[in-house]
Amino acid sequence: MATNNILANGDNWILTTPTARSTHGAVASQHRMAAQAGAAQLDAGGNAIDAIVATAYALNAVEPWMCGLGGAGFMVIWLAKEQRAVALDFQGVLAGDTRLEDYPVDPNLPATPMGFPGVVDNANIEGYRSITVPGAVAGLDHALARFGTRPRSAVMAPAIALAERGLHVDWFTSLQIGVCARTLARDPVSNSIYLPGGHPATPESRLRIPNLADTLREIAEDGAATFYRGALAEKIVGDLQAGGSRISREDLARYEVLEYEPMVAEHRGYTLYTPGEVSGGLRQREMLAHALEAMPIPLEKPTPETWLAYAEALEHCWRRHKIRNGVLSPTDSGVDGEQGACTSSMSSVDAEGNMVALTYTLLNRFGSGVTLPSTGMLMNDSVSYFDPRPGYPTTMVGGKRINSSNMCPTVVVKEGEARFSVGASGGNLIMPAVTQVAALMMDFGMSVEEAVHHPRLDASYRGSVRVDPRFDAETLTRLGKCFELEMAQQLVFPKLYACVTAVSRDPETGECTGINDPTQPIGGGAIPAAFTLESLDGNGPKVRP
């Protein structure tokens, strides 16, 4: 067994996080205030879709480095009365005038988060040329109009109030800014917001993002129409083109959300719904099938053989995925550099049993680093989802939609009742984490709280398997006989086992639970209550959604 043991210099604590519980529904998010904004919709009589949309919009103001109006993603919805699941794809789209010559490969640069070659001046991951047409506003508006119950203005009220207050900086926010300071410094607007005086904003300060509240208010009034075809679209395209982007008014106007039946996987009497082959869903289905074959009858609790089966299944499905995407030949060893990426995951459930899993992203932390001056929108760097070389399944082509993502929002149903939903942020780490949490609940009857807190491993056919040292010695020994092991503690930063968010519902008692990963200090679950926006002195206004 070869190991890289860093425990001697590890953090000297064990991370745990509380679970929110209520029979009236629950919301979980990577930021507690966003979860509270969503749970307020349940308190006001709304459903799980209202709650998830409110949560997603609120994240623009409290976790702008992960997701927002300038991002894109997937949503899976379980409609309890209709007994059916729906998937929404609101992924980004390349500008119609995208040209490969704008992205010459630079062999001296590291690969993108998706494993594709770097290009000159990091043009595919930083700055205006790295931006795709964002789908977030279209996706959220579509979900609310089709399946929500509350007015857009009410659902977005907490997000607007948070944006008007400004971003309260704590130590975790300072960390996020500091990690990306070089990229943020390239953009004059982002530099002025996040690097006051030329340095990352310090804790106990407050950052105001110019025009963000007005942009949210305009969307609340006019919906996606203004964003893609109206006055807001004109501002967006004006800023983009002034910065060198090829995105046009026609590109925005052509954007559409894809609504379809989700991919289905069956596992031990449960049905798992994911967005399908363009997400992490296909790898999830392959992983579960491979593990089920190796472990047809699970024991009462996980054993070393369980974790070997999970690790081998993850290696198997990741190898197939890399071959399909053209980043690995069938004879390749699979050794590559793992790239970090950042996203936001959230889940909601209501008292009627409707359940939602949503994951959306700017791709890298702070996306392209670009904040549009007229709207305050932080923009994605999703051009790096595409290969700058010709002839591959993911090669850049004008108007092409993102067709390969790690995001894996999952809703799990048994006997006609949604039991839990789970998603995660973390690039390549997402699918392994989501699928392990789901497998622990389905294979061993763990609660969502037990599964989220359980040690995890990470494997993506990269030449080694990362393991949490909290595993017992027998498990580590068994895994070490088959894999090169990296011993790595669960940390606040970097998050080496993804950042999981989940909700569950017990159909017998009606109890709903919400939980966010213990490594996320600002994350958490929330139960229905009026949304209270507290200012730094604790006397802020109460916002009734």
Is 402 a residue whose pLDDT tops 50? yes
Is 124 a residue whose pLDDT tops 70? yes
Return the HEC string of 127-177.
CHHHCCECCHHHHHHHHHHHHCCCCHHHHHHHHHHHHHHCEECCHHHHHHH
In degrees rounded to 5, what are phi and psi of residue 530? Answer: -60, 145
Rounded distance between C-alpha atoms, residue 49 and residue 515, angstroms: 18
Q: Is residue 76 part of a domain?
A: yes
Report residue 356 as tokens. Answer: 């939602």
| Mean predicted lDDT score pLDDT of the chain | 92
Check residues 318 and 473 and name the one with the higher pLDDT.
473
Is 55 a residue whose pLDDT tops 50? yes
Residue 512 buriedness (CB in 10 A; 0-12 / 13-18 / 19+):
buried
Q: Is 358 helix (H, G, I), strand (E, B) or coil?
A: strand
Torsion sign across C-alpha atoms 7, 340, 455, 314:
negative
- Structurally, the chain folds into a number of domains equal to 1
The CA-based angle 147-79-83, given to 5 degrees, is 145
Rounded distance between C-alpha atoms, residue 34 and residue 289, angstroms: 35
Q: Is the distance from CB of 515 to CB of 17 less than 8 angstroms?
A: yes
Rounded distance between C-alpha atoms, residue 25 and residue 36, angstroms: 12
Question: What is residue 140's predicted lDDT score, i.e. its pLDDT?
Answer: 98
Q: Is the distance from CB of 174 to CB of 202 less than 8 angstroms?
A: yes
Q: What share of the chain is helix, strand, coil (3-state, %, to 5)?
A: 35, 20, 45
Question: What is residue 3's predicted lDDT score, i.e. its pLDDT?
Answer: 47
Question: What is residue 9's predicted lDDT score, i.e. its pLDDT?
Answer: 64
- Report the CATH number that the domain containing residue 69 is assigned in CATH: 3.60.20.40
Report CA-CA distances (Å) from 229 to 40, 145, 372, 465.
Answer: 31, 18, 17, 47
Is 536 a residue whose pLDDT tops 80? no
Q: Is the distance from CB of 252 to CB of 245 less than 8 angstroms?
A: no
Closest CA to 261 of 78, 423, 434: 78
* pLDDT band, very low/low/confident/very high, at 332 (cuts 50, 70, 90): low
Residues whose CB falls within 8 Å of the CB of residue 234, separated by 6 or more in sequence, listed in order: 249
Q: Is residue 125 part of a domain?
A: yes
What is the distance, to the nearest Å, from the Cα of residue 500 to the centroid of all Cα atoms in its chain?
A: 9
Q: Is the distance from CB of 500 to CB of 452 less than 8 angstroms?
A: yes
Is 8 a residue whose pLDDT tops 50? yes
Closest CA to 117 of 394, 400, 459, 460: 394
Query: Which DSSP category does 291 fall into?
Result: H
pTM for this entry:
0.94
* pLDDT band, very low/low/confident/very high, at 13 (cuts 50, 70, 90): confident
Q: Is 343 a catalytic residue?
A: yes
Residues whose CB falls within 8 Å of the CB of residue 142, separated by 6 or more in sequence, listed in order: 88, 90, 224, 257, 259
Question: What is residue 324's predicted lDDT score, i.e. its pLDDT?
Answer: 84
Beta-bridge partners for 68? none
What would the pLDDT profile of 339-394 be if each residue is shown by its tens digit?
445 799 999 999 999 999 999 999 999 999 999 999 999 999 999 999 999 998 88
What would the pLDDT profile of 175-213 be if each residue is shown by its tens digit?
999 999 999 999 999 999 999 999 999 999 999 999 999
Residue 510 buriedness (CB in 10 A; 0-12 / 13-18 / 19+):
middle
What would the pLDDT profile of 148-185 be if each residue is shown by its tens digit?
999 999 999 999 999 999 999 999 999 999 999 999 99
Q: Is residue 1 part of a domain?
A: no
* b/e per residue 427-460 (b: at least 16 CB within 10 A): bbbbbbbbbbbbbbbbbbebbbbebbbbbbbbbb
Residues whose CB falls within 8 Å of the CB of residue 182, separated by 6 or more in sequence, listed in order: none
Report residue 138 as tokens. Answer: 């279209």
Lowest mean pLDDT among 6-15, 103-112, 404-413: 6-15
Strand ranges in 51-131 using DSSP code E only, listed in sequence order: 72-79, 84-90
How many residues are there in the chain? Answer: 545
Mean pLDDT of 303-312: 96
Rounded distance between C-alpha atoms, residue 479 and residue 308, angstroms: 6
Is 330 a residue whose pLDDT tops 70? no
Q: How many CA atoms lie within 13 A of 87 on its CB side?
A: 23
Mean pLDDT of 21-35: 97
What is the distance, to the nearest Å, from the Cα of residue 42 to the centroid of all Cα atoms in its chain?
A: 22
Q: Is residue 79 part of a domain?
A: yes
Residues whose CB falls within 8 Å of the CB of residue 221, separated by 6 or more in sequence, listed in order: 153
Question: What is residue 499's predicted lDDT score, i.e. its pLDDT?
Answer: 96
* pLDDT band, very low/low/confident/very high, at 543 (cuts 50, 70, 90): very low
Q: Which domain holds residue 229?
A: 7-11+22-166+208-364+380-398+405-530
Beta-bridge partners for 345? 359
Q: How many CA atoms lie within 13 A of 24 on its CB side?
A: 13
How much of the chain, in percent, has pLDDT values that exceed 70? 93
In degrees rounded to 5, what are phi and psi of residue 236? Answer: -60, -50
Q: Is the distance from CB of 201 to CB of 173 less than 8 angstroms?
A: yes
Torsion sign across C-alpha atoms 48, 50, 51, 55:
positive
Lowest mean pLDDT among 153-162, 306-315, 533-542: 533-542
Q: Is residue 199 part of a domain?
A: no
Q: Is residue 181 part of a domain?
A: no
276: amino acid identity, one letter: G
* pLDDT band, very low/low/confident/very high, at 314 (cuts 50, 70, 90): very high
How much of the chain, in percent, has pLDDT values that exceed 90? 86
Please identify which of the residues 112, 271, 343, 371 carries the catalytic annotation: 343
What would the pLDDT profile of 244-283 be if each residue is shown by its tens digit?
999 999 999 999 999 999 999 999 999 999 998 999 999 9
Report residue 120 as tokens. Answer: 């000159």
Residues whose CB falls within 8 Å of the CB of residue 188, separated by 6 or more in sequence, listed in order: none
150 φψ region: left (φ > 0), alpha (ψ -120 to 50), beta (else)? beta
Is 422 a residue whose pLDDT tops 50? yes
Q: Is residue 174 part of a domain?
A: no
Q: Is residue 177 part of a domain?
A: no
